Amino acid sequence: MEAYKRRQAILALLRDTGEVAIDDLAQRFAVSPNSIRNDLDSLAADGQLNRVRGGAVALDGVLTLRPGGSGAAPRTAFAMRAGVQRREKENLGRWAASLVKDGDAIILDDSSSVFQLATYLRERRNLTVVTAGLRFDEVGLAVADRRPAAPMPHTRDRTSQLSHHLGVNHQLLPNRLLAFASVSTAFDPSTPVDARTGRIQDNETTLGYEGGMKGRTRDGRFEGSASAFLLYNRHIARRNPLYDDPILDANQTQPQLVAAGEERFLDDRGDHRRVEQTQIHALAGERGRNFIGRHPTAG
């Protein structure tokens, strides 16, 4: 394959997966690792990807969160960890995979060593994989109000939140059909400041559910997926309708803001791709419905 076509194929693969490894590309295209390094260096010089140890990542360099997913580490960080002692991790993953039998259920974390283990489990039958994680975030906030004569020009506060993820993947057909489901939470630090209490509002949180299937044809030329997810965005700051009410707030004790808003978003999507050696042709469809939940205290 000509270098130009190989590099276009690398970019197509990068758009699909977000990250590529030198050893994997060398095996895929039947060329030396040095040829792949030259390809990646050339593409990086053209501003088409980011080079990292052992491979390359997409220009965004960030792992996009799945709907409702908790925070995730950047792709660049994972790719760098995956490139360290790669051969040893591959050997460890191959040995660990030999201990997993058809019909087993296993629990995996998100380490780069476990990633190598997962690559050797494709041919297992009736395999169930459970993923779980907890994340604790603590954020310091500083809000500046530059309006003339602002009652609270500078406000500082701290907030923390515990997020979680639980997922189940079940292999229906080895290396061909996979069913998955997950539930997870995330949060967005709030910045609105209550004019009466001087406190920054509670965090806006998200609870998400997702389920679907992924599959490919026997010859590997076509791949596809279908999924649906439901998101609940909660604790959205709204103006308190009782604030400054001449009767119900006569003693001036009601807060200006309350975290009582809620949104619900339902979406389903599907895509199918024809995979060739030099390029990937993709067709995708998506539809969604956004439901604004009740805001009993919205003003």
Q: What is the CATH number of the domain that holds 53?
A: 1.10.10.10
Mean pLDDT value of segment 246-267: 83
The torsion angle over the Cα atoms of residues 59, 62, 63 and 65, rounded to 10 degrees, is -120
Asked, for residue 125, whether it belongs to a domain, the answer is yes
Question: Mean pLDDT across the stretch 157-171?
Answer: 84
* Claim to verify: residue 20 and residue 150 sit in the same structural domain: no
Do the domain assignments include residue 297? no
Residue 268 lies in a domain: yes
Q: In terms of domains, do 5 and 148 share one? A: no
pLDDT digits (tens, 9 = 90+) for 131-156: 887 878 777 777 777 778 777 777 77
Give the residue numbers spanning the domain of 214.
Answer: 85-292
Alpha-carbon span 3 to 35, nearest angstrom: 9
Over 90: is that where the pLDDT of 217 sits? no
Question: For 123-128, what is the mean pLDDT?
Answer: 81
Rounded distance, CA 267 to CA 110, Å?
26
Q: Does 231 share its domain with 182?
A: yes
Yes or no: say if 283 and 271 are a contact pair by the CB < 8 Å rule.
Answer: yes
The arithmetic mean of pLDDT across residues 78-85, rounded, is 63
Same domain, 190 and 239: yes
In a domain, 298, yes or no: no
Q: What is the mean pLDDT of residues 58-77?
A: 41
Torsional sign, CA 241, 247, 248, 251: positive
Enter the tokens of residue 207: 């609870």
Q: What is the pLDDT of residue 77?
A: 52
Task: Tell me the average pLDDT across 110-127.
Answer: 78
pTM reported for the whole predicted model: 0.54
Specify whether 288 is located in the same domain as 205: yes
- Decide if pLDDT at 290 tops 60: no
* Pair 160, 42 in one domain: no
CATH of the domain at 198: 2.40.170.20
What pLDDT score was predicted for residue 211?
93
Q: How far, rounded to the nearest angstrom, does the alpha carbon of residue 94 sit from its chain's CA centroid?
A: 27
Q: Is residue 66 part of a domain?
A: no
16/93 same-domain check: no
Which of residues 14, 46, 61 is at a domain's end? 61
Whether residues 169 and 225 share a domain: the answer is yes
Average pLDDT over residues 181-202: 78
Confidence of residue 238 (pLDDT cuts 50, 70, 90): confident
Is the pLDDT at 71 greater than 70? The verdict is no
Distance CA 20, CA 14 (A): 6
Nearest to 21 by CA among 63, 62, 49: 49
Residues 133 and 176 in one domain: yes
Q: Which of 146, 155, 242, 233 is nearest to 194 (CA)?
A: 155
Q: Is the pLDDT of residue 83 over 70?
A: no
Looking at the structure, tell me whether residues 123 and 211 fall in a common domain.
yes
pLDDT at 240 over 80: yes
**What is the total count of domains within the chain?**
2
Return the closest-CA partner of residue 129 out of 185, 72, 178: 178
Asked if residue 75 is part of any domain, the answer here is no
Q: Are residues 56 and 101 in the same domain?
A: no
Query: Based on the domain organization, do 119 and 240 belong to the same domain?
Result: yes
Q: How confident is the model at residue 51 (pLDDT cuts 50, 70, 90)?
A: confident
In tens, the pLDDT along 89-117 reads 888 888 988 898 888 888 877 677 887 88
| Averaged pLDDT score across all residues of the chain | 76
